[in-house]
C-alpha cells in the first residue's frame, strides 16, 4: 500500500497499559490484554523547552511508524471482530514489518554504513533508533507468536479449522502428502549441499529456506555436513488436505511440514540430523542518481532485479535452531544479534493469508455489505448531465467507486469527448480504469496518462501498465524527475455545442477498485469550470515545462499547498487572539513535517482547539503544558484502512475552510511530491464536518496518543455506549 500500507530522545522504558475490555474473553486473551506492552515510551519531559524546535518536542518518525504496526497487531485481540479477520490483522502485522525492515530499517543501516548519519527534528542518532527498533520488535514479535499459538490456533480448532501437524497425520493423509511431495515439490526443489564448489546460495528477499544438518557422504564422497533447501516460491505455503481424507472441517498443512517430513529423501543415503526454517529480509528500496538518468523506465527496470538481493537487514529463524547454525547464518548475512529474531512457529507468516482462499467460512468474516450510491447517480446513464447540475462527493468504501469508473467508461464511448487526462499511482494493469483508458484511445480520444513509476512495490506493475497504454495509443509520461506524482486527478474535455466543458475527478486515494473496498477515501466529481482550468494547468506542469501557473481553486504541492496550510493555521491564531473562535481538525495518515508541527504548537499556545486524527506516524507530542495542551491526537484502526486526507479550519465559525487532498502532512508530500488539495463548500463541507465528528466520538477503535509517546485504547465511559465511526458510516451510507 502507499502509505501500503508505509512513521534528542532520552532513555525509553517499557510500560504496561491497563486496558479494560467489556467483552467476555478467553483466559489467554485476557492474560495478553492484562500484560499489554504496546511499546517502550519516551520518558516525560522534566523541563519543557521554550524553543519549539527543541528535539524533546518531537517523536522519532521510525518509532512512531512502528507504533502504528503494533496497534495493527493489537486488533487480533479484539474479540468483537470475526475470528478470521483477527487472524488477518495478526498476519498484516507481519506484512507491515516486512516493509518496515525493507525500507525504514534499511535506510538507517545505509546511513551508518556510509557514514551519512542524518537526524530528524528529534535529533535521535540512527544507531539509537536501530537499538530501540530491535527492542520493540523483540517484544512484539514474541507477543505475535503468543497470540498465534495460544489464542488463534485453539480458537480456529474450536471452529473446526485445523492446522495439521505431522504427528497428527493419519496413514492415508501421509500417503497423500507423500504423493504431493513427489509430484509437486520434487520436480521444482533444488537442495544445495555446501562445499567449496557450492558456496552459500544467494537467497531471494523474504523467501522461505531451510538449513539442514547432514551426516554421511554423498555419491562423490563429499562430507559437507550442511545444506540449504530454498522452498520454491511457486509453491503454496498452505495446502488443503482432501476432505475425504479427514473427519470434517477444514484441514490445512504447511509446506514447511512436508519439507521437514521428507527432507532426508532429498539427500539419498545421508542422514538428516536437523532441518530448520529461516527467512532473510533484504534492503528493498530503490535509489537513483537523477542527474545521471536519461530514461527513467529503463533505469527502473535495471534496479528491480537487484531489489531481490539487497543487503540483509533481518534474519528470522525457528527458535529450535541450534545456536551454532544461527551463528553460521549470521556470519553469512553479516548481521548482529540484534537483527536476529527467533520465532516460535512459521517464519513466513504473511503467506498464511492464503487461508482466506482455502477456507470458506463467511460467518467468521466481516458481514458483507453493498456500497451505496447517491440518488442522483442511481440509474443515471448520463453522468455528465448529473455533474452539470451538482457536484458529487463520495466516501468509499461506504459509497460505491463505480461512478468514478462509469464516468471514464462513458467518456471513452462518448463521441463528444475529445480528450482525457489522468494520473495513475497504484491501479493494476488490468483494472477497469485502465481498460476504459485503452478503449478511449482506440476510439480516437486524446488520452494522456501520467504514471508514477516509482510507487513503492508497484514499480513492475506500473511499467507493464505504461507499456499496455502506449500500445493502445495513449500518451504516457512519467511526471517530473525527482518529484513523485501522487496527485489523484482525472480530467475529461467534452465538446458541448460551441463550448468545451471540463469534468474532473479529484480524490484522496488511488484509482484502484480493489482498495476502494478496503480503504476509506473521498472522491470529488465536478464540472466546475475553475476547478477544471486548475486541473488542466497542473497537467501542463506535469507533461510540459514552464513557470508556476496561478491556480484559482486548487492548491498544489510542492508550490502552494504547504504555504496555504501555514496561512490557515495562522488565521486561526489571529481569530483566537481577537477573541473569536479557533478550531482545527486534521485527518491524515501521517504528521511529520516540522514547520507544520511548530505552527500547530503555536496555535495551541494561542488557545486554538486542535483535533488530529492521525492513522500512522505522528512526530507531534500532544498534552504538553504551555505548548500542546490544546492538542488531542487519536488514531483509528478498524475494519477499513483509514486513508482520507481532510483539513478543516473553523475560520471564525463562519464558513469553515474544508480541503480534501491527496497529501499527508509529511515532508515528502508537502515539499517533494506533486499533490493536490481541493476545497469543498456548502453541503459537502457540512457533511465532512459531521463525518469528522464521528471519528472524534469513536470509543471503540480509537487510540489516544500521550505526550510520552505511548498510545492507549479509548474505552466507553461508564454508562456510555460503544461507538465506532466506521460502523456508523456503514449504517448510514452502505446497503
> Catalytic amino acids?
486
User: In Å, how far from its chain's centre is CA 120?
Assistant: 22
Q: Give the Cα separation of 48 and 57 in Å (integer).
A: 8
Q: Give the Cα separation of 451 and 268 in Å (integer).
A: 52
Q: Give the Cα separation of 508 and 644 in Å (integer).
A: 6
Q: Give the Cα separation of 116 and 37 in Å (integer).
A: 33
Give 3-state DSSP helix, strand, coil % of the chain, rounded to 5. Answer: 40, 20, 40
Q: Give the Cα separation of 590 and 451 in Å (integer).
A: 24
Three-state secondary structure of 641-656: EECCCEEEECCCCCCC
Name the residue among 514, 506, 538 with its Cα closest to residue 387.
506
What grid cell was written down for 295?
530514461
What grid cell was written down for 182?
513427489
Q: Is 621 annotated as a binding residue?
A: no
Largest CA distance in the chain: 90
Helix (H, G, I), strand (E, B) or coil at 213: strand
What grid cell was written down for 690?
459531521
User: Residue 87 carries which DSSP code?
Assistant: H
Q: Give the Cα separation of 453 and 460 in Å (integer).
A: 8
The H-or-E segment that residue 272 falls in is: strand 271-282
CB contact at 8 A, 518 and 640 = yes
CB contact at 8 A, 482 and 505 = no
Q: Say how many C-beta atoms besides its own lie within 10 A of residue 36's C-beta.
A: 16
Q: Give the Cα separation of 281 and 418 in Å (integer).
A: 49
Name the residue among 595, 573, 593 with its Cα closest to residue 584.
573
Q: Is 519 annotated as a binding residue?
A: yes
Give the residues across from 211 on adjacent strands: 228, 276
Q: Is 305 annotated as a binding residue?
A: no
Q: Is 505 annotated as a binding residue?
A: no
Name the residue among 707, 578, 711, 698 with its Cα closest to residue 638.
698
Burial of residue 394 (number of CB atoms within 10 Å: 0-12, 13-18, 19+): buried
User: In Å, how far from its chain's centre is CA 320?
Assistant: 32
Q: Which residues are annotated as a binding site?
A: 96, 426, 456, 519, 615, 643
Q: Which residues are annotated as a binding site for Mg(2+)?
A: 426, 456
Q: Which residues are annotated as a binding site for ATP?
A: 96, 519, 615, 643
Amino acid at each position: 500500500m502507499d502509505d501500503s500500507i508505509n512513521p534528542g530522545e532520552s532513555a525509553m522504558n517499557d510500560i504496561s497499559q491497563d486496558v479494560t475490555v467489556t467483552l467476555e474473553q478467553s483466559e489467554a486473551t485476557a492474560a495478553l490484554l492484562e500484560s499489554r506492552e504496546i511499546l517502550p515510551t519516551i520518558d516525560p519531559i522534566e523541563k519543557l523547552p521554550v524553543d519549539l524546535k527543541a528535539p524533546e518536542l518531537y517523536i522519532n518518525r521510525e518509532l512512531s511508524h512502528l507504533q502504528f504496526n503494533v496497534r495493527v497487531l493489537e486488533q487480533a485481540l479484539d474479540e468483537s471482530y470475526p475470528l478470521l479477520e483477527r487472524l488477518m490483522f495478526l498476519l498484516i502485522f507481519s506484512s507491515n514489518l516486512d516493509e518496515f525492515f525493507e525500507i525504514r530499517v534499511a535506510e538507517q543501516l545505509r546511513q551508518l554504513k556510509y557514514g551519512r548519519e542524518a537526524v530528524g527534528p528529534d535529533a535521535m542518532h540512527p544507531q539509537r533508533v536501530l537499538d530501540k527498533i530491535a527492542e520493540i520488535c523483540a517484544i512484539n514479535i514474541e507477543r505475535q507468536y503468543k497470540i498465534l499459538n495460544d489464542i488463534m490456533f485453539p480458537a480456529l480448532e474450536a471452529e473446526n479449522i485445523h492446522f495439521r501437524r505431522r504427528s497428527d497425520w493419519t496413514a492415508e493423509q501421509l500417503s497423500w502428502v507423500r504423493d504431493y511431495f513427489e509430484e509437486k515439490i520434487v520436480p521444482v526443489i533444488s537442495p544445495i549441499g555446501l562445499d567449496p564448489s557450492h558456496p552459500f546460495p544467494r537467497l531471494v528477499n523474504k523467501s522461505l529456506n531451510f538449513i539442514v544438518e547432514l551426516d554421511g557422504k554423498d555419491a562423490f564422497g563429499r562430507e559437507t555436513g550442511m545444506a540449504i533447501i530454498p522452498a520454491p516460491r511457486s509453491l503454496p505455503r498452505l495446502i488443503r488436505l482432501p476432505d475425504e481424507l479427514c473427519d470434517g472441517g477444514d484441514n490445512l498443512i504447511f509446506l514447511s511440514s512436508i519439507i521437514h517430513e521428507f527432507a532426508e529423501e532429498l539427500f539419498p543415503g545421508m542422514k538428516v540430523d536437523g532441518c530448520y526454517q529461516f527467512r532473510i529480509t533484504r534492503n528493498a528500496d530503490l535509489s537513483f542518481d537523477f542527474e545521471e538518468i536519461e530514461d527513467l523506465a529503463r533505469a527502473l527496470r535495471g534496479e528491480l532485479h537487484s531489489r531481490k538481493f539487497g543487503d540483509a537487514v533481518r534474519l528470522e529463524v525457528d527458535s529450535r535452531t541450534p545456536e551454532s547454525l544461527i551463528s553460521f547464518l549470521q556470519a553469512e548475512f553479516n548481521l548482529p544479534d540484534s537483527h536476529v529474531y527467533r520465532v516460535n512457529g512459521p517464519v513466513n507468516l504473511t503467506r498464511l493469508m492464503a487461508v482466506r482462499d482455502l477456507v470458506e467460512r463467511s460467518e467468521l468474516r466481516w458481514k458483507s455489505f453493498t456500497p451505496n450510491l447517491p440518488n442522483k447517480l442511481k440509474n443515471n446513464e448520463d453522468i455528465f448531465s448529473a455533474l452539470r447540475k451538482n457536484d458529487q462527493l463520495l466516501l468509499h468504501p461506504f459509497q460505491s467507486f463505480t461512478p468514478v469508473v462509469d464516468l471514464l467508461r462513458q467518456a471513452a464511448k462518448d463521441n463528444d469527448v475529445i480528450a482525457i487526462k489522468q494520473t495513475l499511482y497504484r491501479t493494476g494493469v488490468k483494472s477497469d480504469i485502465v481498460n476504459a483508458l485503452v478503449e478511449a484511445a482506440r476510439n480516437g480520444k486524446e488520452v494522456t496518462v501520467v504514471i508514477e513509476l516509482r510507487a513503492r512495490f508497484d514499480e513492475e506493475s506500473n511499467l507493464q501498465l505504461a507499456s499496455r497504454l502506449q500500445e493502445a495509443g495513449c500518451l504516457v509520461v512519467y511526471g517530473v524527475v525527482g518529484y513523485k506524482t501522487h496527485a489523484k486527478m482525472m480530467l475529461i474535455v467534452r465538446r458541448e455545442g460551441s463550448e468545451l466543458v471540463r469534468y474532473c475527478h479529484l480524490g484522496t486515494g488511488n484509482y484502484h477498485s480493489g482498495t476502494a473496498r478496503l480503504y476509506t477515501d473521498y472522491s470529488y466529481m465536478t464540472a466546475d469550470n475553475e476547478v477544471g482550468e486548475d486541473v488542466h494547468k497542473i497537467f501542463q506542469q506535469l507533461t510540459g515545462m514552464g513557470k508556476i501557473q496561478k491556480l484559482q481553486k486548487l492548491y498544489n504541492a510542492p508550490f502552494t499547498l504547504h504555504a496555504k496550510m501555514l496561512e490557515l493555521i495562522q488565521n486561526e491564531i489571529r481569530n483566537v487572539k481577537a477573541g473569536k473562535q479557533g478550531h482545527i481538525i486534521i485527518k491524515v495518515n501521517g504528521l511529520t513535517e516540522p514547520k507544520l508541527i511548530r505552527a500547530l504548537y503555536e496555535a495551541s499556545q494561542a488557545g486554538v482547539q486542535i483535533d488530529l486524527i492521525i492513522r500512522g506516524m505522528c512526530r507531534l507530542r500532544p498534552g504538553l503544558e504551555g505548548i500542546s495542551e490544546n492538542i488531542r491526537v487519536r488514531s483509528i484502526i478498524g475494519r477499513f484502512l483509514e486513508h482520507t486526507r481532510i483539513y478543516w479550519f473553523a475560520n471564525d465559525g463562519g464558513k469553515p475552510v474544508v480541503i480534501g487532498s491527496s497529501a499527508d502532512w509529511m515532508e515528502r508530500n508537502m515539499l517533494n511530491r506533486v499533490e493536490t488539495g481541493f476545497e469543498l463548500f456548502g453541503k459537502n463541507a457540512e457533511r465532512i464536518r459531521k463525518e469528522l465528528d464521528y471519528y472524534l466520538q469513536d470509543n471503540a477503535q480509537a487510540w489516544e496518543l500521550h505526550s510520552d509517546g505511548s498510545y492507549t485504547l479509548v474505552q466507553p465511559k461508564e454508562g456510555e455506549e460503544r461507538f465506532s465511526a466506521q460502523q456508523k458510516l456503514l449504517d448510514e451510507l452502505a446497503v
